[in-house]
Amino acid sequence: MIGMTLALILTMSTSPFASESVTIVHFNDLDRMSEKEGRGGVARLASLIKNERANHQHVLVTFGGDTISPSLMSGLDEGAHMIDLLNQLNLTAMVMGNHEYDFGPDVARQRIREAQFPILGANNINPQGKVIQGVLPSIIVDVGTFKVGIMGLTTVGTTIKSSPGNIRFDDVVEAAKREAKNLRDENSADLVIALAHTDVEEDARLLSSGLVDMVLSGDDHVLKAEFNGDVLFAESGEQAEYVTIVDLTMDRIEENNSSMVEWSAEYRIVDSAKFEPDPTIETLVNRYEARLEEELNVALGITKTAMDTRRATVRGREAAFGNLVSDALREATEADLAATNGGGIRAARQYEPGTVLTRRDIVSELPFGNSTVVLEISGQDFVDVLENGLSEIEKGSGRFLQISGARVKFDPTLTSGQRVIDVSIDGQPIDLDKTYSFATNDFIANGGDGYDMLVNKPRIVDENAAVLMTLQVFDYIKTRQEISPKVEGRLQVAP
């Protein structure tokens, strides 16, 4: 347990005539079913929850959303395995996250139907102006004689980050205003919690709104708990590696022939590594992992052309497989441009025409689990990116780029930083002042391999909303059944 405790003690003018304690176990952004390096995953989370339930009478378990995507297994069953696993935990409530819409609204509705726990989303609105089918705007939980109201709020950015179709997302504060009134005035809630899959700016607005007593958040993958004088805030990182636990005491005070509720709270941030995996849940996880191994052998399609992923090829010149990957990224994100680093292509194989490509082939070629981020960059930024990719070509550096959406002429004999001779997009010279959308892997977007120029560029799709590259390549091949990637002059050495 991390030594981090906050106590809010409210002075009470009289002794309470009713008092109850409740423990809230909060986690968020859990799409990885298995532990990693002895931490996180559903089986360890289950043991942690079981421990809290054994030691406290009233325990609520809240999940801050993002689960049916973007894991490798989700690319095979559209997140059904995660709902099955979560069904074993007896959750009090989950909020819809942006990744719940990654496979479209129909799949989202199917996963909602499969859930055996309440899923909340007060601002997830269908074309008829109602909260989407199967989702509740809020719930009331009875804790002794007290009522705890929990509303669900989903980031408005879901419209850009994911694929919600005709579902809209009302402003989170406006939705919170409606739902807080409903909970307090019509349902007599003594405490109101926003279970919110919301970004940093939306979190801040909820905290300052005065509408809720607590914000239990997700989306930003931060490990943070604090009290700003009015509202308790908690977000628990990701993958249940650490879990925030809030211990509340609620007191009903009678004064001047009326009653009021006062509350105090302490929080704990707990390391899941301290708990052994729950054996029942671990067995189920292992079953899914075994199925994943089998599913990786499934064929995606046939390549009608040869492909070479050997080191010298992908790190020194245009490669057919590199074109396949970058084309898949650009198509999946509808970006103007796309690129991936040759150093991220690792199987070092030669594929003959007619080779049947399996999921395992793609995972072997792209083993790092990278996700696809989409940035806004200028034409000049793209030239700078290309220069960095070419800066160590003579060393066979992994930063060398495989690209989509542009044609580049370069001279590797020139001074590093001055090797790009010409760039064209859609047959026209690049506009250095124009803004382009650029899809690339999260490693490059975060400055890896010397791409520091991208770190502060605006994110259209950031790493928290990104989809695994492997899944995008899966889909690209599967939808075509036959592919014919080839070297076609995207990267040309100037004569």
State pLDDT tens for residues 212-245: 999 999 999 999 999 876 899 999 999 999 999 9
Label residue 9 by pLDDT band (50, 70, 90).
Answer: very low
Residues of the chain with CATH 3.90.780.10: 299-493
Q: How large is the average pLDDT for residues 181-186? A: 95
pLDDT above 90: residue 88:
yes
Q: What pLDDT was estimated at residue 144? A: 94
CA separation (Å) from 110 to 100, 115, 334?
11, 9, 26
Contact 232, 193 (CB under 8 A): no
pLDDT above 80: residue 483:
yes
CA separation (Å) from 152 to 65, 114, 126, 425?
10, 19, 16, 44
Contact 412, 390 (CB under 8 A): yes
Backbone angles phi, psi at 287, to 5 degrees: -65, -45
Query: Burial level of 280, CB count in 10 A (0-12/13-18/19+)?
Result: exposed
Contact 176, 211 (CB under 8 A): yes
pLDDT above 50: residue 8:
no
Label residue 15 by pLDDT band (50, 70, 90).
Answer: low
Q: What pLDDT was estimated at residue 256? A: 74
pLDDT above 80: residue 372:
yes
Using CA atoms, how far apart are residues 52 and 21, in angstroms rounded to an integer?
Answer: 13
Token pair for 252: 């009903």
Sign, Cα dihedral of 374, 219, 281, 91? negative
Q: What pLDDT was estimated at residue 229? A: 67
pLDDT above 60: residue 125:
yes
Label residue 13 by pLDDT band (50, 70, 90).
Answer: very low
Of 21-25, 255-259, 316-320, 365-369, which range is least confident?
Answer: 255-259
Q: How many Cβ atoms from other residues are within 10 Å of residue 45's Cβ?
A: 28
Q: How large is the average pLDDT for residues 78-100? A: 97
pLDDT above 60: residue 190:
yes
Sheet of 214-218, strand order: 138-143, 146-154, 191-197, 214-218, 232-236, 223-227
Question: What single-letter DSSP state applies at residue 131?
Answer: B
Contact 347, 329 (CB under 8 A): no
- CATH number given to 18-292: 3.60.21.10
Using CA atoms, how far apart are residues 76 and 359, in angstroms rounded to an integer?
Answer: 10
Strands (E), 65-172: 93-95, 119-120, 124-125, 138-143, 146-154, 168-169
Q: What pLDDT was estimated at residue 12? A: 37
Using CA atoms, how far apart are residues 74 and 123, in angstroms rounded to an integer?
Answer: 25
Q: What pLDDT was estimated at residue 14? A: 52
Q: What pLDDT was estimated at residue 16? A: 65
Q: Which of 472, 71, 480 is nearest to 300 (CA)?
A: 480
Q: Which amino acid is at 46?
A: A
Residues of the chain with CATH 3.60.21.10: 18-292
pLDDT above 60: residue 5:
no
pLDDT above 60: residue 6:
no
pLDDT above 90: residue 254:
no
Token pair for 298: 């499934």
Using CA atoms, how far apart are residues 313 and 332, in angstroms rounded to an integer?
Answer: 25
Contact 92, 143 (CB under 8 A): no
Using CA atoms, how far apart are residues 99 and 76, in angstroms rounded to an integer?
Answer: 15
Q: Which of 1, 62, 2, 78 is nearest to 27 (CA)?
A: 62
Q: How large is the average pLDDT for residues 1-29? A: 65
pLDDT-above-70 percentage for the chain: 97
Averaged confidence pLDDT in the chain? 94
Token pair for 368: 């790092």
Q: What pLDDT was estimated at residue 163? A: 86
- CATH number given to 299-493: 3.90.780.10
Question: What single-letter DSSP state applies at residue 276?
Answer: P
